[in-house]
Structure 1
Amino acid sequence: MDEVFKALADATRRQLLDRLYCENGQTLHALCEHLDMTRQAVAKHLAVLEAANLVVVVRSGREKLHYLNPVPIHEIYERWIGKYQQHHLAALSALKTSLEENRDHDDDDDG
């Protein structure tokens, strides 16, 4: 998981992942089109993403196609976000129940 966090720490790598999310299966050339950096620099960023298993490369003839692998990001969500989100949702649910009970109690007092 450390490699995933390190890979996600860089804005250019996050941008590459966003581009793959929008259009999966792109070549290095296509990924370079909207970045103001050399092809070699983009290739290095892609290598970091591959090492973190965030990008999978599939050869298609002479081309290498890059695909987003969302599994490591989902694992981060499950480990670091999901469990905290559960606590907040439970608190909101308890608040809703409490407010509804108070409203019902106030309605009884009025009648």
Structure 2
Amino acid sequence: METTIRLLDERHKTLVTLETEDETHLAVGGGQGKYLVYLTFDNETFYYLSDSSKQDEQENLVVSGQSGLYPAKYCVPLTTALKAAKTFAEFGKMEETLAWKEKRHLSL
């Protein structure tokens, strides 16, 4: 899992999804030092990793093959993305030591 996330490059590899038997999944997109990470348990409410220390600026990021502008506060470093993914892979739950922002819809 860690190796696959580290391969994200914003060109050819832009999204990794970890799934359980139901609709629960965690997705990591982007690459090259900035990652968009979300988790959903029901495919209706999404929890995005966030960094409240960042301003309201936007960053360009390629996720799932599409370039887009995302709020900088949702673009987290590799170490944060890996920590979230590791907890989800091992326990199927949210890493509670990280900051998550709940969003009802996929749109940011």
- What interval of TM-score do these two structures reach, taking the shorter chain for normalisation? under 0.3
Higher strand share: 2
Higher helix share: 1
Q: Which one has a bigger Cα radius of gyration?
A: 1
TM-score w.r.t. the length of structure 1 is 0.22
TM-score w.r.t. the length of structure 2 is 0.22
